Amino acid sequence: MLRSYTRKLCFRVAILISIIFIYFFEPYIMELIFSKRLYGRLVYLYIIWGIFMFGMLLQMIPRKDTGVTMGCLKHHEILYVPTGLPYTEKEKKDFIVKSDKGALIVLASWLMLTAAIGVLYFSGIIAQKTLLLLALVFYVCDLVCVVIWCPFQRFMMKNKCCVNCRIFNWGYAMMFSPLIFIRSFFSWSLVLMSLIVVITWEIRWHRHPERFWHRTNSALQCKNCTDKICGIKKPLLIDSAMYEYSNTESKEANN
C-alpha cells in the first residue's frame, strides 16, 4: 500500500506541475473552466475533475480491493472486525472526547485558513485561477500528510497513525475548500461531493465510534495492518501504552 500511495503522490505532483505550467503560460485555459465550455483544450481540466470525483467515490465503496487504505474505509460496517476486548464506558468516552477535541482544533484552523483565502479573493488580491491552483496544492499536500509528514497528526490529532486517524476522510473537503468561493459546476460539484463524503463519515463516527478505535476494531491494530503505509512517516507513540495493552489483551484472549 505504501508503494501505491507513493505512486499516487507522484501522480498528484505531476498534475500540479502541469497546472502550474498552464497557470503561468496559458492562464486563459484556467479561466475557461468556470464557463460552460466542455470541448477543445478545456477537456484536459475536466479529466482532472473526473479523477477527483472518482477518488471520492472510492472512499464510499466498502471494499478493501479498491486500493484505498483502511484509514478511510474503517467506517464501513462490513470492514469492522471486533476485537472482543473488554473496556469501560469511561475509556470509550475518553477516546471519543480526545478524538473530537483534536478534530475541532483542525476544523477551526482550516475554517480560519479558508476564510483568509476568501478575504483575499473577494478583495481582488487573488483570482479564480489562483483558488484552483491552491486546491491542487492542497491535493498534493493531502498525500504528503499520508506518506511523509502530517502536521495535523503531529500537533493536533495526536493519533498513532493514518489508519487510526479520526479525520482521514476530511481530506477532499479540505483540499476543495478554496473552490467554494467560485460559482461554477466544476467547483461546487466537487465541494458538494466532498461534503457528502465527510457527512457520511461523521454520521458513522457518532453512531459507531467503535469502528474508529483500535481497542475495539482489530483491523486498526498494527499486528493486523495490511496497509503498511507508515514506512516513511513512523507512527506516533503517544498512545503506545494503551495500544500495547490492547494488543496484549488480544493475545491473551486468543490463548
User: Do residues 164 and 182 lie in contact, with contact meaning Cβ atoms separated by under 8 Å?
Assistant: no
pLDDT tens profile 153-204: 999 999 999 999 999 999 999 999 999 999 888 889 999 999 999 999 999 9
Nearest Cα to 211, choosing from 114, 109, 94, 71? 71
**Residue with more model confidence, 226 or 106:** 106
Is residue 35 scored above 70 in pLDDT?
Answer: no
- CA dist 125 and 127 (Å) reads 7
Locus of grid cell 493514518: 162
User: Do residues 15 and 48 lie in contact, with contact meaning Cβ atoms separated by under 8 Å?
Assistant: yes
Beta-sheet strands, E only, within the chain? none
pLDDT tens profile 53-89: 999 999 999 988 888 999 999 999 999 999 999 999 9
In eight-state DSSP terms, residue 37 is -
C-alpha distances out from residue 4 to 15, 67, 71, Å: 17, 8, 14
Q: What is the pLDDT of residue 19?
A: 87
- CA dist 178 and 103 (Å) reads 20
Is residue 13 scored above 80 in pLDDT?
Answer: yes
Provide the whole-model pTM.
0.89
Cell digits of residue 107: 476544523
Locus of grid cell 487504505: 69
- CA dist 47 and 53 (Å) reads 10
DSSP letter string over 204-216?
A: HHHH-GGGG-TTT
Average pLDDT of 241-248? 46
**Residue with more model confidence, 43 or 103:** 103
Nearest Cα to 145, choosing from 106, 111, 115, 177? 106
Locus of grid cell 469511561: 90
Residue 217: beta bridge partners?
Answer: 82
Q: What is the pLDDT of residue 245?
A: 45
- CA dist 197 and 218 (Å) reads 24
